[in-house]
Chains A and B, each alone.
Chain A
Amino acid sequence: MSVLYVLIPLGLLLLAGAVWAFFWAVGSGQFDDLDTPAVRIIMDDDTKPDDGAP
């Protein structure tokens, strides 16, 4: 069981990494809009606009 003395601190390091990554993602604005991504999939915004055509 003594391997836990190594694995748990390693897990904690991983945890710290995950927290850091998430803080960075929040800070860079990736979570600012929590509503539209959910509905984005049903919006037809991948069709090209017709007003560009003459």
Chain B
Amino acid sequence: MSTSADTCFHCALPVPTNCKITVEIEGNSQPVCCPGCKAVAELIRDSGLSGYYAMREAPAPGVGRPLDETSEWQVFDRDDMLLAFTEADAESAEATIYVGGMYCAACSWLIETTLTKSQGVEKAEVSPVTHRLRVRWRPAETRFSEILGALSSLGYQPQPLAPENTARPELLEQRTALKRLLVASLGMMQVMMFAVGLYAGDFQGIDPEMRRFLRIVSLVVTTPVVLYAARPFFAAAWRGVISKKPGMDLPVSIAVGSAYVASIYATFSNGAAVWFDSVTMFVFFLTLGRFLEMRARHRSIDRSTALSSVLPNTATRIDGDDRSVVPVSQLLPGDTVLIRAGDAIPADGVIESGETAVDEALLSGEATPRHKTVGDPVAAGSVNLDGLITMRILRTGSDTTLGTISRLSERARYTRPTFVTLADQIASYIVIALLVVAAVVAISWYLIAPERAFVITLSVLVVTCPCALALATPAAFAAAGSRLSQLRLLVTNGNAIEALSRATTVMFDKTGTLTLGQPRIASVMVFNNAMTEYDCRRIAAALETASAHPLARAFSLDAILPEVSSQAVEIGQGVSGVVDGRNWRVGSAAFVGGGAADVSTQGDATATNVFLGVDGEAVAWFALEDELRPDVDRTLQELSRLGLRIALVSGDNHDAVRELAARLGIAEFHSNCTPQQKLSIIEAAQRNNERVVMVGDGINDAPVLSGADTSVATAEGALLAQTSADVIMLGESLSPLTTLFRMSTRTMRIVRQNLTWAIVYNALALPLAAAGLVPPWLAAIGMSASSLIVVLNALRLSRFRVPE
């Protein structure tokens, strides 16, 4: 409990020598380091909670923050910021603030108490679950910055959220769906209870007055279920009728609507039977199925919004000696910003000064922090863990890696797999066929036994509802997509999963795919005596600035590079350009020419060889080495165990490719391939009825990727934006590839199970119902159980685990 004289009683930080602030706790005068700690300590004492200091296990999280940061919040008083982060009316303004550093319910109590006591604040509500503070204040009496400053001085890290971040459309959809589900479920339970009374009455006899009463009560409860909970079905059915594409909602709506109306009629005309119980049960199970399907859909959205909510709202921009806090939306490429330890990085860029460890888990799934120093790239959304750095911004907003990942996951959401579209079309025909069947049944029974015609037609409509059929595929794809994104696989093309499940062959590129694509120059040999090794490296570095090829990165040099004009990139071959009036080329032996092919047999033949030539004469030879990705061996073994044929196609020289293939046990390999040759290898395999999955880095082999049946890219960083691959693997390891194949096979297996189940069920249920053997309530249970089975079966995919 007691702290030494020179540390703060509250937060245990050293007390500045010129600071004479103290606080009275339990009769003792205790030193504190800043007014913030004093305020917190007094608040705790005045609330009778001094015992906290006796019981706590560690000092409170650092309340005392550097003084220059208290002025940081004034930027939020500017009109544009207020417009962006608050919703104001004539007298008061409201904002949602994410409160960083909250650990428990006591924190939310502390924040609420502090804020509601302060001048001008009308309401402050903190949700300890979401760490969000909803605060309402009178701008005439206090300012936004004072509220933020108050939070900051309590030791929390407030982060105002823009209104669109707080009211996400899928959140509203979920709320409405929950309400409908509840109305349907409570309604069903109540009506069931009354139905038990009514059925018992049928057997034991019931007072007609009581029967009428129970029916009226059932009607009262069923009405909100039909009019509120079942409204989406009626709306969708109506849309289907207007667009002449009737969906499964049409028979549902006819069944629910007609049973409801007929029951009302029976209630008031003292008819033989009412079907309120069947109606509510039917609506409840349908709503439950829709709810589960919606949740599967939302999980995939959650990830992309999680991605965009990690960016900070403000950044400290440095203009010469000036430091100003600006909203992140105002940052431009070329700006320099200061990033403190613990802050999220606001944009993509390179470090200009300082060094630190950066947590990139969000982008690559890589849990170990990476050490970064001057000149290293940092990505928006990653967290600066321990050092103070300044960075120059290269890309902002949606151009960043983070923005691209979000955009790619969006793309997958909006492309409907052809498989699903097909199922929808078929469902539409099935619905029409069912309506015809129902009409035939109705007419037949009207001729045989008119009093049973309505009940039997109702059962037919309910029992044959093709809900299970319509849910079978989309539910499985949604569940698979969200699980894959958790496993660091971004599916950007809705058709990819189906195509992958039928793949027979996997072709790998070498550089940047099987290897990390971070090559370094292992040795240099200069043939021209007039030049030094350094000269060659400088010229090569200057030329390679034009290339995005992974090998080009090996040449980057921290030096002043000579000027290059008319740079041209020959994909898969090399770069040419003019330096000091001479034509230089850097690239493969064939590209550089001039005897390069002869010397390539010398030295370390297994390395990747890059040549530098001038005016058709080879002058230098660089041997590049590249590290293999982690888990390559195991991944390839598992892929071949899955029955896939593995081939290596590389633009690299024969020896390097052969050595790698031998090391990894790949039987088939092609070396020295141009992109055109790679493409023709794929096409030859396709003519052989093989379905080829091409795995590449996504940039240099873009034409090759597009030629394959499915493409998987290992791209990262800035290159992500340019890739058009169907699936993108995040992170260094190659092992998600195995997961991808297993998952797609499993997904299609579940789709097939679902479709089989739905068809078998309908084929069995229809004749039974048409024969009058299925009462409406049983029909409702049967149909609902069949859709629930389909959805639950699909949701098994979201628990897919990678077998160890």
Q: Which residues of A contact B (CB under 8 A)?
A: 1, 4-5, 8-9, 11-12, 15, 18-19, 22-23, 26-27, 29, 31-37, 45-46, 48-54
Contacts and interface: CB of A to CB of B under 8 A. Distances in A.
A32 B175 contact: yes
Given A19-B182, A53-B58, A54-B12, A12 B295 contact: no
B60 A52 contact: yes
A42 B194 CA distance: 42
B179 A15 contact: no
A34 B103 CA distance: 20
B196 interface: no
B804 interface: no
Contacts of B7: 54
A4 B175 CA distance: 35
B707 interface: no
Contact of A18 (B62, B179, B186, B194): B186
Interface string B244-287: 00000000000000000000000000000000000000000000
A1 B210 contact: yes
A15 B299 CA distance: 32
Interface residues of B, number: 36
A1 B210 CA distance: 9
Interface in B458-480: none
Nearest to A11: B190
Interface string B516-556: 00000000000000000000000000000000000000000
Nearest to B190: A15
Contacts of A8: 194, 213-214, 217
B295 A27 contact: no
A22 B224 CA distance: 15
A46 B58 CA distance: 12
B183 A19 contact: yes
Given A15-B190, A52-B58, A52-B59, A5 B213 contact: yes
B11 interface: yes
A49 B103 contact: yes
A45 B213 CA distance: 54
A52 B58 CA distance: 8
For A26, A52, A53, which residue has the most chain B Cβ atoms within 10 angstroms? A52
Interface in B179-234: 179, 182-183, 186, 190, 194, 207, 210, 213-214, 217, 220-221
A37 B128 CA distance: 11
Contact of B182 (A22, A29, A50): A22
Given A12-B217, A22-B182, A54-B13, A48 B56 contact: yes
A33 B130 contact: yes
28 contacts: A1-B207, A8-B194, A8-B217, A9-B217, A12-B217, A12-B220, A15-B221, A18-B186, A19-B186, A22-B179, A22-B182, A31-B175, A32-B174, A32-B175, A33-B129, A34-B174, A34-B295, A37-B129, A46-B104, A48-B57, A48-B103, A51-B61, A51-B62, A52-B12, A54-B7, A54-B13, A54-B14, A54-B59
